[in-house]
A and B are shown apart, each in its own frame.
Chain A
Amino acid sequence: MAAARRLLPRWAGSLRPVRGGGGPGSGNWDGDRGQGPRTGRGTGTGTGTGDRDGNRPRPAPLTPARLCPQISAAAAGALPPRVKVVEVGPRDGLQNEQSIVPTPVKIGLIDMLSGTGLQVIEATSFVSPRWVPQMADHTEVMQGINKLPGVSYPVLTPNLKGFQAAVAAGAKEVSIFGAASELFTKKNINCSIEESLERFSEVMSAARAASIPVRGYVSCVLGCPYEGKISAAKVAEVSKKMYSMGCYEISLGDTIGIGTPGSMREMLTAVMKEVPVGALAVHCHDTYGQALANILVALQMGVSVVDASVAGLGGCPYAKGASGNVATEDLVYMLNGLGIHTGVDLQKLMDTGTFICNALNRRTNSKVSQASCRL
């Protein structure tokens, strides 16, 4: 069984070889099931990711990665030892909540999250309040939060104007977002994917000049509410473009939560041919209850950055009454059980979830919190 070299994020240390997995021990099982031998190993190569002080990563010599073709073989132990959890509750979560949250509550939420050990907390969005009234107080939030050293507070910036406002308000990291669906892009921001990326190149240039790292989001990676099925090749193409433009990390979003471990694996296989796995994150929605299973498959394939939202804040704008973001508590619970280090204190995270749910007068979407009687 060949050893698999897998990219680790910069903060986890230097590259080291990881033994690829075979299947679990075989035995003389009932042959009627037609299960073949479950050996398997994967090889993968890649280069380092960008880092947070804005240095553009060296262009990756993109060696084609022969990845483990079998979901089952990847199961046997090839998990990252550490996972960076990117908390999107204050932005993605609140943006999709019905009630407008007062500024002090938002600040309180972010400050509590800062105390949990999370390394990245998406704070707000510098978008026009006409479009997203929930984020109208972006400047006050940015200036009001207590920024802990070692914690990053990226903000969404849909255009140059938003970027400039963000920097003026003290932002040190920004996010931009594209989509793998033409129709979604058209309906969302009234232009094509190509045009949207051209708009972002202005932001990229300004960010580079100001040494501000940029995270890229790709929406609809496993399905689109308008187009339906999205090809993995298209996701790979858009991801590659955003990575080449200078994004240090690409967060792949299953925007309507429609994906399953099967489609997740297919999509990641395509994307990982174009973008190093260390530069990838997954942003799974739990609308169909598939989020943790999808995240598990992503981890098995070497992804080590996962987005989540405290208390599972944020419904799905495309399916009324359905859930949206996966709950950070449930994610951390799973990662803890897998022995994967996150640095996050689950109790404090649950306390934070309780705080914001009380403020929003709603039940938590986190099952871990529900089970712990923090309804």
Chain B
Amino acid sequence: MGTVPSALKHCLSYQHLLKEQPWIGELVPPPQPGQESQTSGLPEYIKIVEVGPRDGLQNEKVIVPTDIKIELINRLSKTGLSAIEVTSFVSSKWVPQMADHKEVMRGIERHPGVRYPVLTPNLQGFHSAIAAGATEISVFGAASESFSKMNINCSIEESIEKFEEVVKSARNMNIPVSKRLYSMGCYEISLGDTIGVGTPGSMKRMLEAVMKEIPLSALAVHCHDTYGQALANILTAIQMGVAVVDSSVAGLGGCPYAKGATGNVATEDVIYMLNGLGINTGVNLYRVMEAGSFICTALNKKTNSKVAQASFNSGTIN
């Protein structure tokens, strides 16, 4: 804005910003008594579900070596995240990126207090996941028949029947089932804007309808940033009381339906917003940025996180 002589242009690294303006990376301090609360009406705590290693990498073109995946997950385990979606027990024919699901599952460090759910599209995948040491699983349906048909070659009803088998087996083994299909016994339903077309208007309408059927505490939002709307949509959701948000470190994972477009919202950008709202996530933003920098270097790509871009010269830590 205004006139900026070129002599003024210089780079501010995140370290510089943190040194001079420590409030940037930190949680905003809780309001003093008598002060207006920034967050009255908003959840005090929001759980971030990190989907980068699964949803993110699944949508990256480059096949990532197993040891890099394990290192990424180990780094994410140290950020304060309480849920990290690790891999997908799906046929490697369909999703080559996830072919090393067993090795990843067995290779990662399991930090106390951190959950490591895996995707299991069918009973076979489920058994394989359990054998590899999984203690939490996810199943997924779609709200669109065509999508279900194109994606997994069956109707929504048929897909749910398949998942019922999975869910039954899991419950028999006393394993908490993550996400989707609440009435079947899923403890949490993550509502995904798969192509990122939603806006705060449609998010509000959708949530109002869902909240009539499912308790707020069982809901999560999984917003894609394909049209740049993710943070505004997430804000709308948390204003309505949703307290679980899915995101992907460095915004990993493009959109398979719009070539060149972005997909998942970046965990860094979500945490930055939540910090600014004074909402507790338990997650250290700087450590997430470091993990993001690590995986972007490994993938030889620029981060999709604007916070990371603004904080480092080229999205990688100096």
Contact = CB atoms under 8 A, between A and B. Distances in A.
A260 B309 CA distance: 17
Contacts of B2: 156, 158, 177, 179, 188, 217, 219
Interface in A61-96: 69-73, 75, 92, 95-96
A24 B239 CA distance: 9
A266 B231 CA distance: 19
Interface stretch (B125-133, B159-167, B171-179, B194-202): B194-202
Contacts of B38: 71, 262, 265-266
Interface residues of A, number: 87
Interface string B257-285: 01111100010010011011110000000
A219 B305 CA distance: 25
B228 A367 contact: yes
B3 A375 contact: no
Contacts of B150: none
A69 B278 CA distance: 15
A316 B207 CA distance: 36
B21 interface: yes
Interface stretch (A3-11, A50-58, A272-280, A330-338): A330-338
A225 B240 contact: no
A29 B260 contact: no
Given A337-B202, A373-B259, A373-B260, A327 B269 contact: no
Interface stretch (B9-17, B70-78, B81-89, B100-108): B9-17
Q: Which of B211, B239, B266, B309 is the most central at the interface, judged by chain A CB atoms within 10 Å of its CB?
A: B239
Given A261-B277, A296-B236, A373-B260, A283 B1 contact: yes
Interface residues of B, number: 75
Interface stretch (B39-47, B49-57, B293-301): B39-47
Interface string B228-260: 110110111001110100000000000100111
Interface string B286-318: 000000000000000000011101110111000
A290 interface: yes
A319 to B, nearest CB: 5
B1 A177 contact: yes
A288 B272 contact: yes
Interface string A123-146: 001010001100000000000000
Given A70-B41, A72-B239, A336 B199 contact: yes
Given A25-B208, A292-B228, A334-B229, A71 B41 contact: yes
| SS class, residues of chain B in contact with chain A | loop
Q: Which of A219, A297, A318 is the most central at the interface, judged by chain B CB atoms within 10 Å of its CB?
A: A318
A189 B3 contact: yes
B227 A371 contact: yes
A27 interface: yes
A289 B269 contact: yes
A69 to B, nearest CB: 5
A228 B211 CA distance: 41
B226 interface: yes
A255 B8 contact: no
Contacts of A372: 258
Contacts of B204: 75
Interface string A256-276: 011111110110010000000
Interface stretch (A31-39, A165-173, A240-248): A31-39
B17 to A, nearest CB: 8
Contact of B272 (A127, A290, A339): A290
B65 interface: no
A105 interface: no
A287 interface: yes
B310 A367 contact: no
Interface of A: 23-25, 27-30, 32-36, 38, 40, 69-73, 75, 92, 95-96, 125, 127, 131-132, 156, 158, 177, 179, 187-189, 217, 219, 223, 225, 228-229, 253, 255, 257-263, 265-266, 269, 283, 286-290, 292-293, 295-297, 316-323, 327, 330, 333-334, 336-339, 366-368, 370-373, 375
10 contacts: A24-B207, A38-B41, A75-B240, A132-B5, A257-B310, A290-B231, A290-B273, A319-B11, A323-B306, A333-B199
Interface of B: 1-5, 8-12, 20-21, 23-24, 28, 36-44, 196, 198-202, 204, 207-208, 211-212, 215-217, 225-229, 231-232, 234-236, 239-241, 243, 255, 258-262, 266, 269, 272-273, 275-278, 305-307, 309-311, 313-315
Given A179-B2, A228-B20, A338-B201, 19 more contacts: A23-B240, A30-B217, A35-B216, A69-B37, A72-B240, A95-B3, A127-B3, A258-B24, A259-B276, A260-B276, A260-B277, A288-B269, A288-B307, A290-B269, A292-B231, A296-B232, A318-B10, A338-B200, A372-B258
Q: Which 8 residue pairs across A and B have the least CB separation, nearest first?
A: A337-B199, A260-B276, A72-B41, A289-B306, A367-B228, A30-B217, A228-B21, A70-B41
